[in-house]
Structure 1
Amino acid sequence: MLKTINNQNKTSFVNNHNNNLLYELSVDEASVIIGGYTLVNNTNGRQYFSTLGPTRFPKNRDLVPGGEDNYPGQENYILYREKDDPFTPVIFPVDDPEGTYEFAAQNGVTSIKRLF
């Protein structure tokens, strides 16, 4: 049986049958196990957005500059602001529920791009 221990952006798995066995996984490695996608904020500002899916209610989220997090693959749409003025909402479809995506900004326009 495996126990999950969360510790500052890493997930560790401890095997009860061998307590000396400890693995620390990166966010990307953990997303493969739990079946989610990773979103990275490569902008200079905090990004506020919502994740949602056909069977999931929207959840408000945010990422600090340089931050990254993992989201369930069932929340396969991201609602975010392309521009603040005028307010321009965009719905981005997540086509790979185990992929890695980034917020990027250029000339005042924020976009989401797939990294890999």
Structure 2
Amino acid sequence: MMLQANFTTSQTEKDATLISFEENCLSELSSEQASNIVGGFTLKNNTEAPRIFYNFGENLPLKQQTLQPGESGTYQGEFLLYNSSASKPGISPAVFRADPSGSFSLNQSGTKIIPTDLNSASGSGNGSADC
């Protein structure tokens, strides 16, 4: 028997036709869980200032993004173009190759901004930085 169901998430309201419906089984996915389904890497800003960067991929043009301190988001593509200099007058562009389904954070070490892979204990797993 098919049932018509109407359910609401925090983002949208959708109508769906379900073969069986158990309301307790529905839940919203976290950003990281969703990135594993739709593709995209998760990035968190672990610095004390907003970070502007660009995500892009082989078939995805550059798209400007901004992350506030402590904020995270999921982005399409395999690359991250960012300013690796944390000092105000200096701009030092760098490209980071990200695992498209990985989780990374931007960290500050002295005057450098360094992407770190959260999926590996050493922080050097699936991503690599090039200047």
The TM-score with structure 2 as length reference comes to: 0.72
Contact kept, 8 Å, 1:39 with 1:70, in 2: the verdict is yes
How many corresponding residue pairs?
109
1:48-70 superposed Cα distances (whole Å, 9 cap, x missing partner):
00011122110000101111101
**d(CA) in 2 for partners of 1:26, 1:105:** 26
Alignment RMSD, CA only?
A: 2.7
Q: Which runs of 5+ in 2 are unaligned?
A: 1-5, 120-131
Is 2:113 aligned against 1:110?
yes
**d(CA) in 2 for partners of 1:107, 1:47:** 16
Contact kept, 8 Å, 1:13 with 1:24, in 2: the verdict is no
Q: Which runs of 5+ in 1 are unaligned?
A: none
- Calculate percent identity across the aligned residue pairs: 28
Residue 101 of structure 1 is matched in structure 2 by 104
Which aligned pairs between 1:35-50 and structure 2 lie closer than 5 A? 35-50=39-54
Point out the structure with the larger strand share. 1
State the AA in 2 paired with 1:91.
V
77, 80, 83: which one aligns with 2:79: 77
Q: Secondary structure at the match of 1:50?
A: strand
1:39-95 superposed Cα distances (whole Å, 9 cap, x missing partner):
0111111010001112211000010111110112xx11100001143210001111x
Cα gap change, 1:97 to 1:51, in 2 (>3 Å): same
Cα gap change, 1:67 to 1:15, in 2 (>3 Å): same
Cα gap change, 1:43 to 1:12, in 2 (>3 Å): farther
Cα gap change, 1:22 to 1:114, in 2 (>3 Å): same
Larger RCO of the pair (alpha carbons < 8 Å, separation 6+): 1
The TM-score with structure 1 as length reference comes to: 0.80
**d(CA) in 1 for partners of 2:56, 2:44:** 17
Alpha-carbon distance, 1:14 to partner: 8.0
